[in-house]
Structure 1
Amino acid sequence: MEIISGRPAAIKSKNINQLEFWISTTLYILSLISICTKINYGPGRSYYYSDNGVSYNVLQNYFIPELFKVSMLYFSFLLFNFVSMPQLARKQNIIMNLIITVAVTAFSIVAWMVANTYTQAYRLIEYDDIDQAYGVFFGEAFSYIFFLYLLINAYSYFNERGLTLLKRIPFLNHYNNNIIPEIFTVTKIWLILLMVFAAVLSFRIDYELLIIWLVVPPVNIFFAFLAIYYIIPNLRKNFKGFGRYFWGNAGLTILISILLLIILIPFMRNGEIIPITLILNAICLICVTTPSAWYIYKHKFEKLSEIQMLKTELGKSDANLNFLKSQINPHFLFNALNTLYGTALQENAERTGEGIQKLGDMMRFMLHENTQDKISLTREVEYLNNYIDLQKLRISRAADIKIDARIEEQLNNLQITPMLLIPFIENAFKHGISLQQPSYIKITLQTKESTLYFDVSNSIYVKADNDPEKLKSGIGLENVKQRLSLLYYGKHELIIRETANEFFVHLTLQLD
């Protein structure tokens, strides 16, 4: 099973790598085409050179340096994304891959600086001496290459280990199972777009645009997940609509803007970008993220609600079908029981007549009320009492069997799904009673307001090897667990505990 379960993940990873390869290759080819088509545009830039008294050559000052820079970025991406970082993430050949990563980065910084001294040779005369100019070019190359390669390696590492890292965050495991893959996918998309954004900056980093891109998308992504998985569900539970959601988000946007203002001020070289970033972020939160999160929630979770409803209906249909199969022509059996009851009274067989009467009441319940979605708790309790009384008749001559049933009389209007509690009692009589050994069953049922508390405990004894019940599993209990999960999802607590001497069931149920 481990081999089978591992294959889809391996295939998926392989498909992702193939997709990344073809996307990066396509971008590389498009960049080469762009460089070639701009050759004629290159001489148009010669006035930068002529104004500064520097000679210009298309091949030397444009085509060859640009071709070299694009090719270097492409092959570095392939090396980091498909070779070095995946091995580092898997802790394979750590020393060798670290050396390769550092060496390629250092080479790329120097090569990028040299290439820029050709493509922007007109800038060299702006500085007092050539060493100062080379220092500026080196600083620009270092900032650009270091940041871009850091993004590439961060993306490659997250691609390998992201899901594992997200699964280690405790609070994420309390939400919908889809939230971790969704966060993983959205984060990858943001990193990809950030790499593309960094790549098109050419040779120097625009810190203002970079700050906007580093702040606005992550904040909006976090806000969207917060809205979809926390804010909207809690509002819907309290029957609040879009208006309350919108104005609540507006207030939350103000708080986020104040927090961002405190965080961004110390790191900004130009104060003008602070209000621009905050205003853009606020516009995106209010006008884009807020309605989008509402639409996604309704579109996504209404589909899940429909699926849950279909599962519920299917479970109810299966349960009704099973009950109908177990009745075996109930009309005929009900009429036969009436005949046997009359015969028992004629022969003064009081215990037999009482047993047949109890069984007849149970048959009537199954025939007329079992097919309903909900019945009164009073009728369900009557059925339980009839079943217990019938079982007491069977074991009345066994002195070592103790039956303690404390079922409160129900005078309320609570509704319950029929035949939901009886499997626990049937299981107790089926597996907890021995005619050869001391045994017991304890049953309690009580309600407080709209909450039902139901406990069943029974003794456990070792069955004989020839006992047909010895190897049977608790199919009835599995069925009732499924019915509870379908019909009372989030409204019940079921505890089943088994020791060497006792089997115990506790059910807490929120009723209508």
Structure 2
Amino acid sequence: MVILSGNPSTIKTKSINQLEFWISTTLYVLALIGICSSTIYNSGNSYRFEESGIDYSVMANFFIPELFKITSLYISFLLFNFCLMPQLANKNNITLNLILTVLVTAFSVVAWMVYNTYSQAYRLVEYDNIDNAYGIFFGEAFTYIFFLYLLFNAYAYFNERGLELLKRIPVLKNYHNNIVPELFVSTKIWLISLMIFAAVLSVRIDYEILIVWVIVPPVNIFLAFCSIYYVIPNLRKDFKGFGRYFWGNVGLTIILSLLLLIVLIPFMRNGAVVPITLILNAICLICITTPSAWYIYKHKFEKQSEIQMLKTELGKSDANLNFLKSQINPHFLFNALNTLFGTALQENAERTGEGIQKLGDMMRFMLHENTQDKISLTREVEYLNNYIDLQKLRTSRSADIRIDTHIEEQLNNLQITPMLLIPFIENAFKHGISLQQPSYIKITLQTKEKTLYFDVSNSIYIKADNDPEKLKSGIGLENVKQRLSLLYYGKHELIIRESANEFFVHLTLQLD
């Protein structure tokens, strides 16, 4: 059986992991350089200690705590992303890896609290009770580390299983093949930016900004993908331009802003942040996301569609040219003429005239109607019948050759690409008939509503060594596969089976 299919694009996980390692290492080195620069030139946070009247040591109160803090973040990210989460995602040693994840998180919370008691010792004077201060420090460290490590693990899991999870979403299967990997990459970039944003925050997290950062970028990503893969293609089908698209997105932005307002208000302690955030988000949606999506669609998908259309037209022309070359077959024409000549010598000219008429009809069909993009199925069937009748004249004197045809008369108005079915029949007669050995051909053609069902089976025999056709493959079979993939993509099913004694072809075709 022959099955034609394309392989989907795959993402090289090993390359991605290497890139993540070098990006995280680069950020870690840059952070080290920043700490060293602050230690040498700015003496860390010495002015805060001076204001609080507390002794300050640049090494004990700044360099060592900050060094250990960024080092613990760096090592934890590597552990989660490259060791623990990949094992959990693949369901390997689940209990052990869960315990290790909890231990790494717990150690980081305690260590982070200790680091802050040194690097932010100036805050201790703000509290009446030292135990109270330590409790606040621990709560801040726990909140910060828990949230940041939650991001680490979410990113690591999405990196391992995100592509697979996105492919399972039914609605994404209806759009362009690139949408899943592009959505995967966009989500990863957002998660990376969120991790970097959270990592550079101080222990006193600005919750308003953080919540906005969690929600606003996905909204922009959502609008961009909706525009590129749904809104703009549908507008272009109706010949609508940028103006209709722009004002439609303005209306959608208003709706999204109202929804964000409802979502964000319960989380905001400062009411002024909400309207400012929504205004900035609306400006981003209208002034950046909307034109960017239009630009991406125009310069990517429309160019691709134009290139694909040109390739299709070029492929059709090349396939049709090759098809004509393969169909104007001197071998068959000489056999037909010899048959007609032998028939004329043996009996009256009536059969000879009939044969010549059929041959003339076939030649006119090949020279005139074959140049059209579509013809009626009735004319295609007439050509098949003429061809089969001529071949029957050639084989009628052999009792060991059996030709069974069940071709329905076509009274419908269905259209088909010309010369699409004849290669299978010609192949059967060329390779399935022997004048010295018993052989057979069976041809069935029928339609149901707009679906055509076409079957051809023929016997297989061993050709003589001096037979010029012995090493040749079927006439036009590869060519007709190419034509089907170009002209009836997604509208046909072609099955070809070959055994020791039989060659079988089944074609199901959706016609217009």
Q: So what's the TM-score if we normalise by structure 2?
A: 0.80
Per-residue deviation, residues 172-208 of structure 1 (Å, max 9, x unmatched):
2333222222122111111111111111103222111
Superposed counterparts of 1:104-119, under 5 Å:
104-119=104-119
What is residue 5 of structure 2 aligned with on the other side?
Answer: none
1:285 aligns with 2:308: no
> What secondary structure sits across from 1:507 in the alignment?
strand
What is residue 173 of structure 1 aligned with on the other side?
Answer: 173
What is residue 4 of structure 2 aligned with on the other side?
Answer: none
> What secondary structure sits across from 2:39 in the alignment?
coil
Confirm or deny: 8 A CA contact 1:260 1:278 kept in the other structure.
yes
What is residue 253 of structure 1 aligned with on the other side?
Answer: 253
Per-residue deviation, residues 440-480 of structure 1 (Å, max 9, x unmatched):
7554569x9xxx6544457x68x4765999x9998756643
What is residue 3 of structure 1 aligned with on the other side?
Answer: none
Match of 2:510 among 474, 491, 508: 508
The whole-number CA distance in structure 2 between the counterparts of 1:438 and 1:64 is: 90
Greater CA drift, 315-324 or 373-382: 373-382
Q: Name the amino acid aligned to 2:122.
A: Y
1:324 aligns with 2:322: no
Confirm or deny: 8 A CA contact 1:407 1:445 kept in the other structure.
no
Gaps of 5+ in 1: 1-7
The whole-number CA distance in structure 1 between the counterparts of 2:405 and 2:15 is: 63
The whole-number CA distance in structure 2 between the counterparts of 1:464 and 1:327 is: 24
Per-residue deviation, residues 404-431 of structure 1 (Å, max 9, x unmatched):
5444468x8x975432344466578889
The whole-number CA distance in structure 2 between the counterparts of 1:200 and 1:475 is: 69
Per-residue deviation, residues 124-146 of structure 1 (Å, max 9, x unmatched):
11112111111111111111111
Greater CA drift, 423-432 or 385-394: 423-432
Superposed counterparts of 1:485-504, under 5 Å:
485-489=485-489, 492=491
Q: Name the amino acid aligned to 1:136.
A: I
The whole-number CA distance in structure 2 between the counterparts of 1:20 and 1:263 is: 33
**Which structure would you say has the larger RCO, counting Cα contacts within 8 Å and 6 or more residues apart?**
2
Deviation, structure 1 residue 150: 1.1
Note closer, same or farther for the CA distance 1:307–1:265 as it changes in structure 2 (3 Å cut): same
Note closer, same or farther for the CA distance 1:91–1:438 as it changes in structure 2 (3 Å cut): closer
Note closer, same or farther for the CA distance 1:136–1:474 as it changes in structure 2 (3 Å cut): farther
The whole-number CA distance in structure 2 between the counterparts of 1:99 and 1:58 is: 36
Superposed counterparts of 1:78-117, under 5 Å:
78-117=78-117
Q: Name the amino acid aligned to 2:123.
A: R
What is residue 22 of structure 1 aligned with on the other side?
Answer: 22
Note closer, same or farther for the CA distance 1:326–1:82 as it changes in structure 2 (3 Å cut): same
What is residue 151 of structure 2 aligned with on the other side?
Answer: 151
Deviation, structure 1 residue 293: 1.6
Q: Name the amino acid aligned to 1:324.
A: K
Note closer, same or farther for the CA distance 1:488–1:235 as it changes in structure 2 (3 Å cut): farther
Confirm or deny: 8 A CA contact 1:49 1:56 kept in the other structure.
yes
Superposed counterparts of 1:291-302, under 5 Å:
291-302=291-302
Q: Name the amino acid aligned to 2:314.
A: E
Deviation, structure 1 residue 436: 8.0
Deviation, structure 1 residue 217: 1.0
Confirm or deny: 8 A CA contact 1:337 1:360 kept in the other structure.
no
| Percent identity of paired positions between Structure 1 and Structure 2 | 66
Confirm or deny: 8 A CA contact 2:432 2:461 kept in the other structure.
no
Q: Name the amino acid aligned to 1:19.
A: L
What is residue 50 of structure 2 aligned with on the other side?
Answer: 50
The whole-number CA distance in structure 2 between the counterparts of 1:254 and 1:425 is: 63
Note closer, same or farther for the CA distance 1:16–1:343 as it changes in structure 2 (3 Å cut): closer
1:374 aligns with 2:376: no
Cα RMSD between the aligned structures? Answer: 4.2
Confirm or deny: 8 A CA contact 1:432 1:441 kept in the other structure.
no
Gaps of 5+ in 2: 1-8
Note closer, same or farther for the CA distance 1:347–1:394 as it changes in structure 2 (3 Å cut): closer
The whole-number CA distance in structure 2 between the counterparts of 1:162 and 1:497 is: 38
Confirm or deny: 8 A CA contact 1:86 1:157 kept in the other structure.
yes
> What secondary structure sits across from 2:509 in the alignment?
strand
